[in-house]
């Protein structure tokens, strides 16, 4: 049995799905372990673009099964819509999706609460995807949330939903409750056949050749505990979350690949030390098509932040880097990497999680020569311009982890393996 984790190591949208897809052809299982449909995972192949929200990115490979672990939260109605739209597009999903029986639910109330909380917070809102993710996870922690197996027991389901509204000091009319129960019953008619025990499926599997690919959603700097709290998501987005989110201990993972973009992006609010407010940021946004796949929001753009990147590499114990979107830099004269944070006149290589501290940071930059050439066809390290090679070397050296996968375009084919840095 072999297992690989593909983990977003910045603020999400690192093009993780592209890397999962690149490696996924050989995987028996692609497994999501946290997050929900706040994720927007894009794969481009054969001129066709797919965006997945709850369904793991392995679904394009007909022999790969897609597993959803207990650490994920599922919006049953949105999930069915996603299944239907993929099937309408010609993908065969029957028997290929398995959801752990302990998986939590996102209910209509959670979306309402997400929206209301963002409105109430106003000036200090988080900028969530408004998919109900935060309220769903907090209800699970408060032990008033619902689990997917509750759908199998209609009377219990009704009681739990009533109790959930009561817990939030809200009332639900009989008509609305019946409407919700009806929709959930319809969803269950489809979902029931997907529900299984992911823990035993992974841990008690007798197949010695089994290959598992764990697919992270969001990014480690959005982790509830180690991210830039409170400007984070509500799930744990770290290597260790594989264990809590699937039952397959993170200790057993053979290889951890941290995915980084050649620059940084962030959607939503929160401090972002290397953020660009000039025409270079604008240019990267346009060339890289940096608009949210879930909400369509323009992504904030910044230079590569090696302080944040090293922190993320360290807390997740990554073995190698997959560097994406290198092609987006073509034509930019001068590139920058933040090597240190300057705080109160002192330089440090330590990341700061507190928003008031991170906001004060003055990034210290190392400057690199850019390149003119369009590199979207350079499918080997040797074909890259010297300046691009130097840039990759610098990332491996600053993060202290070798770069092993390089992506130079959005299509599946525009990816290659080459070891940069390391021993
Ligand atoms: P993928 O998997 C980028 C961000 C939101 C917001 C914060 C909290 O595509 O990389 P939430 O709805 O989770 O409560 O929002 O987290 N966020 C993401 N940013 N990529 C994502 O997913 C994200 N999922 C959530 O913008 O700042
Ligand atoms: Mg995304």
Find the ligand nearest to 129 CA. 1
For residue 223, indicate whether it is catalytic. no
Using most ligand atoms within 8 A of CB, pick from 7, 218, 232 the residue to mutate for ligand 1.
Answer: 218
Find the ligand nearest to 37 CA. 1
Distance in Å, CA 62 to ligand 2 centroid: 23
Residue 331 near residue 320 (C-beta atoms within 8 A):
no
Residues 264 and 365 grouped into a single domain: yes
Q: Indicate which CATH number applies to the domain containing 62.
A: 3.40.440.10
The 10s digit of each residue's pLDDT in 235-282 is 999 999 999 999 999 999 999 999 999 999 999 999 999 999 999 999
Q: How many CB atoms sit inside 10 A of residue 343's CB?
A: 15
For residue 304, pLDDT over 80 is answered with yes
Calpha distance 58→61 (Å, rounded): 6
Nearest-CA residue for atom 23 of ligand 1: 218
Residues 91 and 110 grouped into a single domain: no
The 10s digit of each residue's pLDDT in 142-195 is 999 999 999 999 999 999 999 999 999 999 999 999 999 999 999 999 999 999
**How much is the pLDDT for 423?**
63
> Ligand 1 site: residues with CB under 6 angstroms?
8, 12-13, 38-41, 126-129, 131, 133-134, 217-219, 222, 233-234, 267-268
**How much is the pLDDT for 214?**
98
**How much is the pLDDT for 363?**
98
Domain tally, the chain: 3
Tell me what the pLDDT averaged over the chain comes to.
Answer: 97
Residues 382 and 305 grouped into a single domain: yes
Distance in Å, CA 155 to ligand 2 centroid: 37
Residues 9 and 142 grouped into a single domain: no
Q: Which atom of ligand 1 has the smallest separation from the CA of 8?
A: 10
For residue 21, indicate whether it is catalytic. no
Residues 6+ apart with CB under 8 A from 263: 284, 288, 301, 302, 303, 304, 325, 328, 329
Domain boundary among 208, 236, 252: 252
> What is the SS3 assignment for 65?
strand
Domain boundary among 191, 211, 233: 191
For residue 422, pLDDT over 80 is answered with no
Sign of the CA dihedral with 15 first, then 418, 374, and 413 last: negative
Q: Indicate which CATH number applies to the domain containing 133.
A: 1.10.300.10
pTM of the model: 0.97
Nearest-CA residue for atom 19 of ligand 1: 12
Q: How many CB atoms sit inside 10 A of residue 239's CB?
A: 21
Distance in Å, CA 13 to ligand 2 centroid: 4
Find the ligand nearest to 237 CA. 1
Note down the domain range covering 265. Answer: 260-420
Q: Which atom of ligand 1 has the smallest separation from the CA of 16?
A: 10
Nearest to 361 by CA among 348, 346, 342, 347: 342
The 10s digit of each residue's pLDDT in 378-401 is 999 999 999 999 999 999 999 999
Domain boundary among 142, 164, 191: 191
Distance in Å, CA 385 to ligand 1 centroid: 34
| Bridge partners, 411 (sequence order) | 44
Query: Which entry of 41, 75, 305, 319 is annotated as an active-site residue?
Result: 41
């Amino acid at each position: 049995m072999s297992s690989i984790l593909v983990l977003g190591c910045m603020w999400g949208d690192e093009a993780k799905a592209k890397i999962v897809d690149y490696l996924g052809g050989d995987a028996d299982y692609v497994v999501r372990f946290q997050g929900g449909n706040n994720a927007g995972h894009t794969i481009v192949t054969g001129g066709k673009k797919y965006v997945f929200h709850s369904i793991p990115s392995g679904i394009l490979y007909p022999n790969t099964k897609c597993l959803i672990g207990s650490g994920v939260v599922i919006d049953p109605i949105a999930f069915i819509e996603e299944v239907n739209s993929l099937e309408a597009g010609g993908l065969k999903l029957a028997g290929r999706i398995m959801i752990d029986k302990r998986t939590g639910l996102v209910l209509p109330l959670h979306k309402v609460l997400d929206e209301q909380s963002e409105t109430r917070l106003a000036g200090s809102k988080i900028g969530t995807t408004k998919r109900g993710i935060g309220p769903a996870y907090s209800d699970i922690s408060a032990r008033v949330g619902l689990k997917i197996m509750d759908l199998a027991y209609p009377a219990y389901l009704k009681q739990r939903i009533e109790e959930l509204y009561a817990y939030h000091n809200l009332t639900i009319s009989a008509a609305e409750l019946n409407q919700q129960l009806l929709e959930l019953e319809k969803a269950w008619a489809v979902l029931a056949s997907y529900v299984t025990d992911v823990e035993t499926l992974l841990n008690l599997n007798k197949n010695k050749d089994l290959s598992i690919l764990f697919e992270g959603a969001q990014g480690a700097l959005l982790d509830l505990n180690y991210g830039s709290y409170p400007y984070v998501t509500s799930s744990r987005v770290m290597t260790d979350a594989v264990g809590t989110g699937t039952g397959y201990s993170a200790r057993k993972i053979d290889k951890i690949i941290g995915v980084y973009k050649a620059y940084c992006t962030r959607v939503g609010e929160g401090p972002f030390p290397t953020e660009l407010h000039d025409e270079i940021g604008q240019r990267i946004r346009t060339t890289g098509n940096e608009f949210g796949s879930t909400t369509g929001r323009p992504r904030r753009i910044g230079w590569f932040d090696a302080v944040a990147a090293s922190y993320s590499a360290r807390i997740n114990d990554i073995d190698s880097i997959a560097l994406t979107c290198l092609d987006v830099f073509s034509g930019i004269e001068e590139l920058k990497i933040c090597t240190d944070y300057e705080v109160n006149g002192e330089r440090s290589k330590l990341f700061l999680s507190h928003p008031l501290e991170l906001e004060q940071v003055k990034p210290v930059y190392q400057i690199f020569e850019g390149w003119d050439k369009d590199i979207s066809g350079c499918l080997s390290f040797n074909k890259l311009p010297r300046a691009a090679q130097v840039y990759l070397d610098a990332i491996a050296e600053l993060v202290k982890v070798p770069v092993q996968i390089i992506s130079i375009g959005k299509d599946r084919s525009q990816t290659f393996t080459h070891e940069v840095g390391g021993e």
